[in-house]
Amino acid sequence: MDWGLGDPKHGFLRKELLLRTKRLGGSIYYAAIVLDLGMRCAWVLSISPGALGIRLRNDVLVFVLAALELARRAMWNVLRLENEQFHNTGEWRA
């Protein structure tokens, strides 16, 4: 994954985390992983929404799915930039 996550020694996270707090720990990153997976699969709803029991007008559904995709990409960009910052400063490239 482009976020630099997946190290089993650190609970499948990176060694350095920007958003780690004492109260939440690294749970923000675990939530981001689950949300990213869910939002990546959300486009399936646009294929056959009636079969899944979704009773929204098509334009409303498209708007909701586009908003989810926008939020997913924004989250991805923040975590990707954080990973690049740690990677570049750790190797003295920045």
Interaxial angle between packed helices 27-41 and 58-90, expressed in degrees from 0 to 180 and rounded to the nearest 10: 140
- pTM score, whole prediction: 0.70
pLDDT at 72: 93
Three-class DSSP category at 7: strand
pLDDT tens digit sequence for 58-67: 788 889 889 9
Residue 10's pLDDT band, with cuts at 50, 70 and 90, is low
Q: Which residues contact 68 (CB under 8 A, 6 or more apart)?
A: 39, 42
pLDDT tens digit sequence for 28-76: 878 888 898 888 888 887 777 777 677 778 788 889 889 999 999 998 8
